[in-house]
Structure 1
Amino acid sequence: MRNFHVGTITGIPIRLNITFVIFLPVLAWLISRPAQLAAYAGFVASISPHEVDIALLQTGNTPIVIGVAAALGLFVGVLLHELGHSWTARRYGITITSITLWIFGGMAHMEDLPEDWNVEFYVALAGPAMSVLVAAVCYALLFVVPAQPVVVFVIGWLAVINLTLAIFNMIPAFPMDGGRVLRALLARSRPYAEATQTAAAVGKGMAILLAVVAVLAFAPIMLLVAMFVYVAAGAESRATVMRDLLADMTARDLMSTDLRTVTPETTVDEFLDRVVTERTTAYPVMDKGTVTGLVTLSTVRNVDSTKRSSTTVADVMGPAPPSVGPDDDAFEAMRTLGESKGDRVLVIEDGRFVGQITSEDFLSAIEVLQGIGTRRVDIEAPDGYA
């Protein structure tokens, strides 16, 4: 999904996902509903030194003002939560490539995920600790801000919601911080992949429990969160096992050096002849030693048969696949392939196209590695989800 770059904080790019842009006004509306205002007013009144007049908060356009201010304040809190992770990760030498805010909160993207249990433990705890700090600051502000009903309500609400965010994130379920804390503690005495599988199983159990509560409470947003947690737990487990399987392997170990390419001037007719004779349905397009695109059988399918002799692959080719270096980590190459949503990555060395790795190459390598006793790893999560 599309992301929008909105700025940089301490050298970390900040992005807004399109789901965030869509969900923000929905969240503001949800907060501004009379029933929600009344419910939150009770919590704010319990911690505020000032009286909270619910009738005044529900007058005229005040609910909308509160909803917008509270929604923006919440995502500032989420951003600070992710910065807590990011700043702590930096102290351990981990590069943060960006922070993305989206419908389910935020995500700090790390160039290298920590595998030392103590590093992951502190990085995971830093986010909830930041949320607790934000809640404490908001609570302290209640004693110094003017007794203006809207200001008091919004600041008090932010104190409550940031504390709730910290507690909720400590639920032991991926991708929340509690799941990573659990994995870090488990990894003290067992292999990282095994610790991940156990933590993922616990996370799926928590997701099922959360879904049951959501159904009983008629809370559709909570149900969506539960579904997301369940899927994310399985994805985390599989990704970790794949990384373990591909440990110590590079792109060079997996790449195919059978470099079948076409030139931009190749006609569609000539391309189809090669598809039939070579039984290959996708070819990188090579122009003066550089791969400039990719042409596939599906790409040329819509070319009129009467124009195939005059249409070149340059007219119909798609963009060039992403590239990696031959000495790049094999798992990173697989992650690059997944992020591109394509079926291959090119291997480029000193500007030269020296090989490619397709999704089939990865599957074959994983199948072989699973069959080797010294690298045998069950790629299924403990509950059977693959």
Structure 2
Amino acid sequence: MRNFHVGTITGIPIRLNITFLIFLPVLAWLISRPAQLTAYAGFVAGISPHEVDIALLQTGNTPTVIGIVAALGLFVGVLLHELGHSWTARRYDITITSITLWIFGGMAHMENLPEDWNVEFYVALAGPAMSLLVAAACYGLLFVVPAQPVVVFVIGWLAVINLTLAIFNMIPAFPMDGGRVLRALLARSRPYAEATQTAASVGKGMAILLAVVAVLAFAPILLLVAMFVYVAAGAESRATVMRDLLADMTARDLMSTDVRTVTPETTVAEFLDRVVTERTVAYPVMEKGTVTGLVTLNTVRNVDPAKRDSTTVADVMGPAPPSVDPDADAFEAMQALGESRSDRVIVVEDGRFIGEITSEGFMRAIEVLQGIGSHRGRDIEAPDGYA
């Protein structure tokens, strides 16, 4: 889904996902509802040195103002939470490529995921620690800000919600920080992939528990979070197993060099003849050693049969697939393949095309690796969907 770049903080690009832009007004509306204002006012009154006049908070447009400011404040807290992860990761020489805010909070994208248990432990804890600092700062502000009901309510609400954010994130379930803390602790005495699978199983159990609570409490948003946690736990397990299977391998190890290509001048009629005789439905378009596009059977399907002899693949081809360096990590190649709109990535060395990795070829490689066990000499359980 589309992301919008909105700026940088300490050199880290900050992006807003479209789901964030959609969810923000919904969140503001939820906060401004009378029942929610009443419930939160009780919490704020319990920690504030000032009285909270709930009747005043519910007059005129005040609920709308509170909802908008509080929702924006929450996502500022989420951004600081992710910056806590990012700044700590930088101390361990981990590059942060971006931070994205979306419907479920935030994501700090790391160029290399830490596999040392102590590094992951401290990076994971840094987010909740930052949320606790934000909560403490907001609590302290309650004693110095004017006794204006809206100001007191919003700052008190942010203190409560950031404390809640810190606690909720410590639930031992991926992608929450608690799941990563659990994996880090398990990885002290067992292989990283095995620790991930155990932590993922615990996370799925927690997701089921959250779903039960959500149903009993009639909380649709919590149910949505539970579903996301369950799916994310499985995805984390699969990604880690793939990374372990592909350890020490490069794109060169996975690529095929026996690649059928066409030139830009190839006519659609000639292309279709090759599709029939070679039983291949997608061809990189090669010009002077460089891939300039990709032509597939679907690409030419709508070309008028009467014009197939005069239409070239250059007229109808799609963009070139993403490229990777032959010495790139195999897991990076897999990620590029997953992000590609086609079913392949091309391997380019010194600007020249030398091979390709297709989804079909990649899956065959995974089947072989699973069949013989990890090339590092230990057995790895097949992840869901790859057995």
TM-score category (smaller protein)? over 0.9
Q: Structure 2 CA distance, aligned partners of 1:269 and 1:341? A: 25
**How far apart are 1:342 and its partner, in Å?**
2.7
Residues 279, 383 of structure 1: alpha-carbon distance in 2 compared, 3 angstrom cutoff: closer
What does residue 276 of structure 2 align with?
276
Q: Does 1:200 align with 2:200?
A: yes
More off after superposition, 120-129 vs 298-307 = 298-307
Contact 2:238 2:384 in 1 (8 A): no
CA RMSD of aligned residues (A): 1.6
Residues 317, 67 of structure 1: alpha-carbon distance in 2 compared, 3 angstrom cutoff: same
Residues 329, 152 of structure 1: alpha-carbon distance in 2 compared, 3 angstrom cutoff: same
Q: Structure 2 CA distance, aligned partners of 1:180 and 1:94? A: 16
Residues 197, 22 of structure 1: alpha-carbon distance in 2 compared, 3 angstrom cutoff: same
Residues 191, 157 of structure 1: alpha-carbon distance in 2 compared, 3 angstrom cutoff: same
Q: Which runs of 5+ in 1 are unaligned?
A: none
Contact 2:241 2:383 in 1 (8 A): no
Q: Which runs of 5+ in 2 are unaligned?
A: none
Residues 208, 170 of structure 1: alpha-carbon distance in 2 compared, 3 angstrom cutoff: same
Q: Does 1:379 align with 2:374?
A: no
Secondary structure of 2:203 counterpart: helix
What does residue 216 of structure 1 align with?
216
Q: Structure 2 CA distance, aligned partners of 1:307 and 1:43? A: 73
Residues 132, 193 of structure 1: alpha-carbon distance in 2 compared, 3 angstrom cutoff: same
Q: Structure 2 CA distance, aligned partners of 1:76 and 1:334? A: 33
Secondary structure of 1:380 counterpart: coil
Contact 2:261 2:284 in 1 (8 A): yes
**How far apart are 1:107 and its partner, in Å?**
0.1
**How far apart are 1:264 and its partner, in Å?**
1.6
Q: Structure 2 CA distance, aligned partners of 1:189 and 1:248? A: 22
More off after superposition, 362-371 vs 344-353 = 362-371
**How far apart are 1:289 and its partner, in Å?**
2.4
Contact 1:203 1:229 in 2 (8 A): yes
Secondary structure of 2:190 counterpart: coil
**How far apart are 1:378 and its partner, in Å?**
7.0
Secondary structure of 2:198 counterpart: helix
Contact 1:322 1:340 in 2 (8 A): yes
CA offsets 1:192-236 (integer angstroms, 9 cap, x no match) = 000000000000000000001001111110011000000000000
CA offsets 1:139-162 (integer angstroms, 9 cap, x no match) = 000000001111100000000000
CA offsets 1:22-72 (integer angstroms, 9 cap, x no match) = 100010000000000000000000000000000000000000000000000
Contact 1:251 1:327 in 2 (8 A): yes
**How far apart are 1:336 and its partner, in Å?**
1.0
Secondary structure of 1:371 counterpart: helix
Contact 2:337 2:343 in 1 (8 A): yes
Secondary structure of 2:374 counterpart: helix
Contact 1:41 1:54 in 2 (8 A): yes
**How far apart are 1:288 and its partner, in Å?**
2.8
Q: Deviating runs (4+, > 3 A) in structure 1?
A: 373-386
What TM-score do the two structures reach when normalised by structure 1? Answer: 0.97
**How far apart are 1:384 and its partner, in Å?**
9.5
CA offsets 1:239-296 (integer angstroms, 9 cap, x no match) = 0001111111111111100132112221111111111111111111122322111111
Q: Structure 1 CA distance, aligned partners of 2:170 and 2:341? A: 32
Q: How many residues align?
A: 386
**How far apart are 1:385 and its partner, in Å?**
9.8
Residues 57, 379 of structure 1: alpha-carbon distance in 2 compared, 3 angstrom cutoff: farther
Residues 82, 336 of structure 1: alpha-carbon distance in 2 compared, 3 angstrom cutoff: same
Q: Structure 1 CA distance, aligned partners of 2:25 and 2:199? A: 35
Q: Structure 1 CA distance, aligned partners of 2:31 and 2:144? A: 25
More off after superposition, 195-204 vs 304-313 = 304-313
Residues 385, 186 of structure 1: alpha-carbon distance in 2 compared, 3 angstrom cutoff: farther
Q: Structure 1 CA distance, aligned partners of 2:374 and 2:16? A: 44
Residues 101, 374 of structure 1: alpha-carbon distance in 2 compared, 3 angstrom cutoff: closer
Q: Structure 1 CA distance, aligned partners of 2:380 and 2:276? A: 36
CA offsets 1:131-178 (integer angstroms, 9 cap, x no match) = 000000000000000011111000000000000000000000000000
Q: Structure 2 CA distance, aligned partners of 1:385 and 1:307? A: 43
Residues 158, 272 of structure 1: alpha-carbon distance in 2 compared, 3 angstrom cutoff: same
Residues 378, 213 of structure 1: alpha-carbon distance in 2 compared, 3 angstrom cutoff: farther
What does residue 316 of structure 1 align with?
316
Q: Structure 1 CA distance, aligned partners of 2:7 and 2:35? A: 36
**How far apart are 1:90 and its partner, in Å?**
0.3
Secondary structure of 1:286 counterpart: strand
Give the share of equivalent positions with the same residue, in percent.
90
**How far apart are 1:374 and its partner, in Å?**
5.2
Q: How does 1:12-51 map to 2 (within 5 A)?
A: 12-51=12-51
Contact 2:373 2:379 in 1 (8 A): no
Residues 373, 231 of structure 1: alpha-carbon distance in 2 compared, 3 angstrom cutoff: closer
Contact 2:45 2:52 in 1 (8 A): yes
What does residue 260 of structure 1 align with?
260
Residues 280, 48 of structure 1: alpha-carbon distance in 2 compared, 3 angstrom cutoff: same
**How far apart are 1:306 and its partner, in Å?**
1.8
Contact 2:234 2:384 in 1 (8 A): no
Q: Structure 2 CA distance, aligned partners of 1:287 and 1:148? A: 70
Q: Structure 2 CA distance, aligned partners of 1:183 and 1:318? A: 43
